[in-house]
Amino acid sequence: MKSIYNPDYIEDLFDKMSASYARMNYITSFGFSTRWRRQCVQSINIPAGATVADLMTGMGECWSDILNETGKGGRIIALDFSEGMLQHAYKRLTKMQNARIDILKANVFDNEIPDQSVDAVISGFGIKTFSESQLTDLANEIHRILKPGGSFSLIDVSVPTPGLLRRLYMFYLKNIIPILGWLFLGNPETYKMLGIYTEHFQNSEKATEIFRKEGFEVEMTRFFYGCATGIKGKRQG
């Protein structure tokens, strides 16, 4: 059996989820996902005209928030490896004709974004499917592509701080979401994985430590009692 962190396994999972991802992402975050993405993007200083890498871009859900910061002179390099998710990203792109967005179909650990070429890196809900060693590789990759002084901000669904909310949220993720997945997709197994990844990931604390070790100035943020956590930081100049 493939590890849940095997990139082929994850690519296949998102290909299968792509038909229902937009709806399910909204539901699994109780409708907070839109606000969390915006907060993730606005939590760092993205200058007008900046080039921004949107890693694990999915269907391009972060693009409008990024372009609100960069203005028309900005450019997005949108990277993802799931053909299913990217089909929706291409559709979104046709509706944003004046935007400079380059979609890159690639594994984030093997991509052609040049060294020190981007002013900022964003990722919405793209890190919970990474193991600790993959998070180290991700930190190195972000360090490689960011210009000195550039910033990054990542956010993902997390296990809330202990208490009633944690019990309710984890029950919801592990029991209710698979049922909704079955209703929308006819497949509860795929959406079961969301609870499993979230439980393994817990929150962005480990990632924060890893990014600090790799030489970034970093800070972790909790959103809505820790139902999502973010990590943001800077590559030193």
Give the phi and the psi of residue 197 in degrees, each rounded to 5: -60, -40
Spatial separation of the C-alpha atoms in residues 57 and 55, rounded to whole Å: 5
Spatial separation of the C-alpha atoms in residues 41 and 69, rounded to whole Å: 8
Residue 63 in the binding site for ligand SAM (CB under 6 A): no
Residue 127 in the binding site for ligand SAM (CB under 6 A): no
Residue 129 in the binding site for ligand SAM (CB under 6 A): yes
**From candidates 52, 66, 76, 108, binder to ligand SAM by CB under 6 A:** 108
Half-sphere exposure for 164 (CA within 13 Å, toward CB): 0
**From candidates 63, 125, 169, 191, binder to ligand SAM by CB under 6 A:** 125
Residue 161 in the binding site for ligand SAM (CB under 6 A): no
CB of 156 to ligand SAM, least distance (A): 8
Residue 28 in the binding site for ligand SAM (CB under 6 A): no
Give the phi and the psi of residue 159 in degrees, each rounded to 5: -85, 120
**From candidates 74, 126, 226, 233, binder to ligand SAM by CB under 6 A:** 126
Residue 82 in the binding site for ligand SAM (CB under 6 A): yes
Q: Which helix (H) or strand (E) holds 162?
A: none
3-state SS of 74-143 is CEEEEEECCHHHHHHHHHHHHCCCCCEEEEEECECCECCCCCCCEEEEEEECCCCCCCHHHHHHHHHHHH
Taking the least distance from each CB to ligand SAM, the nearer of 23 and 167 is: 23
CB of 34 to ligand SAM, least distance (A): 9
Residue 107 in the binding site for ligand SAM (CB under 6 A): yes
**From candidates 16, 37, 75, 234, binder to ligand SAM by CB under 6 A:** 37
Q: In the numeric block, which tokens belong to residue 92?
A: 């979104």
Residue 62 in the binding site for ligand SAM (CB under 6 A): yes
Taking the least distance from each CB to ligand SAM, the nearer of 194 and 218 is: 194
Residues 6 or more apart whose CB falls under 8 angstroms from that of 176 comprise: none
**Contacts of ligand SAM in 163-222 (CB under 6 A):** none
Helix, strand, or coil here: 224?
Answer: coil
Q: Which stretch binds ligand SAM (CB under 6 A): 58-66, 185-193, 211-219, 229-237?
A: 58-66
Give the phi and the psi of residue 149 in degrees, each rounded to 5: 85, -5
Point out which residues bind ligand SAM (CB under 6 A).
7, 10, 14, 25, 37, 56-58, 61-62, 80-82, 85, 107-109, 124-126, 129
